[in-house]
């Protein structure tokens, strides 16, 4: 059997500080693996520039000129981590046998790639990289991340615990994944839906080698919200159950009011009426908000906008730094 062609897909957004450090590490890993006959010589590191405003794209172009194992594509503007990974995977899909997506900041242990490739050679189509501990994360990040996974599972979105977007996918799995046409992307929740034989590989997560995280709390909450509403209709079910309970309570209330009126005990109760109106009004608008979120998503899906647009490629005539 000829060794498979591996593409390492690396999303990069404003990473000029860290890219010069991690790019040689990816290349070294590629060369080690191909020297051991695990992967083909034709394997590549594919950088996806996600509309960086700094020198990232120039660095990628330089790297591609220096070594043919480096390639790059650039999104026409910043579209976010998930879209950048997808763009890279779709670009790689037809040129390789396996892809491994990994962040470019050196946080994910690249040595886990050895086990991932071994698992592929053993017949797995998808291999999830799972953090064995979160000791290097701050207490805050750890607590919020754990709460995040719990919430997702409670809401019916099945995700692999402590797995981010460091994973191996075969071209075959990717071709199936490409049929998922949604624009609201939550890759780590969508990939398990593809199925195929899969496994997990455990690794220690390190500190960022340089630069700063692009995932502040606001973006994490947005991702969690996207994860839940893209993958599950459980919030709608919860609304239905709450609505049902409220109807029962109101029915009892109505009975009580009618009986009280018939017995002639009614008092002019402006305050209680106003409170009830406020309460119901508040709850209803909250519920409508959640429903609105789904309608918003339907709206976006119906538009079927392209999920990524590639403006440049290294090596092509249109490549310019
Ligand atoms: N990233 C991206 N587009 C964005 C934000 C981030 O391509 O809009 C990339 C970033 O360059 C990195 C990866 O996504 O390779 C993960 O981002 P980061 O390390 O900032 O997140 P954290 O590890 O702190 O969750
Ligand atoms: Mg990071």
Ligand 1 atom 16 nearest Cα: 103
Of the residues 9, 52, 81, 203, which should be mutated to test ligand 1's pocket, given the most ligand atoms within 8 Å of the CB? Answer: 81
- Quickly state the pLDDT bin for 305 (edges 50, 70, 90): low
Asked if residue 214 has its Cβ within 6 Å of ligand 1, the reply is yes
Q: Are residues 18 and 149 in the same domain?
A: yes
| CA–centroid distance, residue 194 to ligand 2 (Å) | 26
Instruction: Report how far apart the first and last C-alpha atoms of the chain are (Å, whole number).
Output: 39
78 vs 305, which has greater pLDDT? 78
Asked if residue 13 has its Cβ within 6 Å of ligand 1, the reply is yes
pLDDT > 90: what percent of the chain?
A: 43
Which range (20-34, 90-104, 287-301) has the least confidence? Answer: 287-301
Q: What is the pLDDT of residues 82-131, one digit of tens each?
A: 999 999 999 999 999 999 999 999 889 999 999 999 999 999 999 999 98
Which range marks the domain in which residue 295 is found? 234-303
How many independent structural domains does the chain possess? 2
Q: What is the pLDDT of residue 275?
A: 64
What does the block give as tokens for 145? 């991340």
141 vs 191, which has greater pLDDT? 191
Distance CA 131, CA 136 (A): 11
Which one, of 6, 190, 205, 14, lies nearest residue 99 by Cα?
Answer: 6
Q: Are residues 131 and 84 in the same domain?
A: yes
Q: What is the pLDDT of residues 195-225, one digit of tens each?
A: 888 999 999 888 888 888 777 778 878 888 8
Q: Are residues 69 and 170 in the same domain?
A: yes
CATH number at residue 28: 3.90.550.10
Q: Which residue has the tokens 């009892």?
A: 252
Asked if residue 11 has its Cβ within 6 Å of ligand 1, the reply is yes
Asked if residue 3 has its Cβ within 6 Å of ligand 1, the reply is no
User: Which one of the ligands is nearest to 22 CA?
Assistant: 1
- Checking if the pLDDT of 319 tops 50, the result is no
Q: What is the pLDDT of residue 272?
A: 67
Distance CA 77, CA 72 (A): 15
Q: Is 164 contained in some domain?
A: yes
The burial of 294, by beta-carbon neighbours within 10 Å (0-12 exposed, 13-18 middle, 19 or more buried), is given as: middle
Q: What is the pLDDT of residue 256?
A: 75
Q: Are residues 203 and 314 in the same domain?
A: yes
| CA–centroid distance, residue 277 to ligand 1 (Å) | 45
Asked if residue 107 has its Cβ within 6 Å of ligand 1, the reply is yes
Note whether 61 and 284 are within 8 A (CB). no
Q: Which atom of ligand 1 is nearest to the CA of 212?
A: 20
Ligand 1 atom 12 nearest Cα: 103
Q: Are residues 140 and 190 in the same domain?
A: yes
Q: Are residues 243 and 284 in the same domain?
A: yes
Q: How far is CA 151 from the centre of its chain?
A: 15
Asked if residue 84 has its Cβ within 6 Å of ligand 1, the reply is yes
Q: Is 223 contained in some domain?
A: no
| CA–centroid distance, residue 173 to ligand 2 (Å) | 25
User: Which one of the ligands is nearest to 215 CA?
Assistant: 1
Asked if residue 104 has its Cβ within 6 Å of ligand 1, the reply is yes
């Amino acid at each position: 059997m000829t060794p498979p062609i591996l593409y390492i897909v690396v999303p990069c957004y404003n990473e000029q500080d860290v890219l010069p450090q991690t790019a040689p590490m990816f290349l070294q890993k590629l060369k080690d693996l191909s020297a051991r006959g695990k992967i083909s010589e034709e394997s590549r590191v594919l950088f996806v520039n996600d509309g960086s405003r700094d020198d990232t794209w120039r660095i990628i172009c330089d790297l591609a000129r220096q070594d043919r194992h480096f390639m790059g594509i650039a999104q026409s503007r910043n579209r976010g981590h998930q879209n950048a990974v997808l763009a890279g995977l779709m670009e790689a899909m037809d040129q390789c046998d396996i892809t491994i997506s990994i962040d470019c900041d050196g946080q994910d242990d690249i040595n886990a790639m050895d086990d991932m490739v071994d698992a592929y050679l053993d017949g797995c189509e998808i291999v999830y990289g799972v953090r064995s501990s979160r000791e290097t994360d701050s207490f805050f990040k750890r607590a919020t991340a754990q709460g995040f996974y719990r919430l997702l599972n409670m809401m019916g979105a099945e995700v692999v615990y402590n797995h981010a977007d460091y994973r191996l996918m075969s071209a075959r799995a990717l071709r199936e994944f490409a049929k998922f046409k949604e624009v609201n992307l939550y890759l780590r929740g969508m990939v398990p839906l593809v199925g195929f034989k899969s496994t997990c590989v455990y690794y220690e997560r390190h500190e960022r080698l340089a630069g700063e995280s692009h995932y502040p709390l606001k973006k994490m909450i947005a991702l969690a919200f996207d994860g839940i509403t893209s993958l599950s209709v459980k919030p709608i079910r919860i609304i239905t159950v709450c609505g049902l309970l409220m109807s029962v309570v109101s029915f009892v209330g109505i009975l009580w009011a009618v009986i009280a009126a018939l017995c002639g005990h009614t008092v002019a109760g402006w305050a209680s009426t106003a409170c009830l109106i406020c309460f119901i009004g508040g709850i209803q608008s909250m519920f409508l908000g959640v429903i609105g979120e789904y309608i918003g998503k339907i709206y976006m899906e119906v538009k079927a906008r392209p999920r990524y647009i590639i403006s440049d490629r290294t090596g092509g005539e249109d490549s310019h730094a």
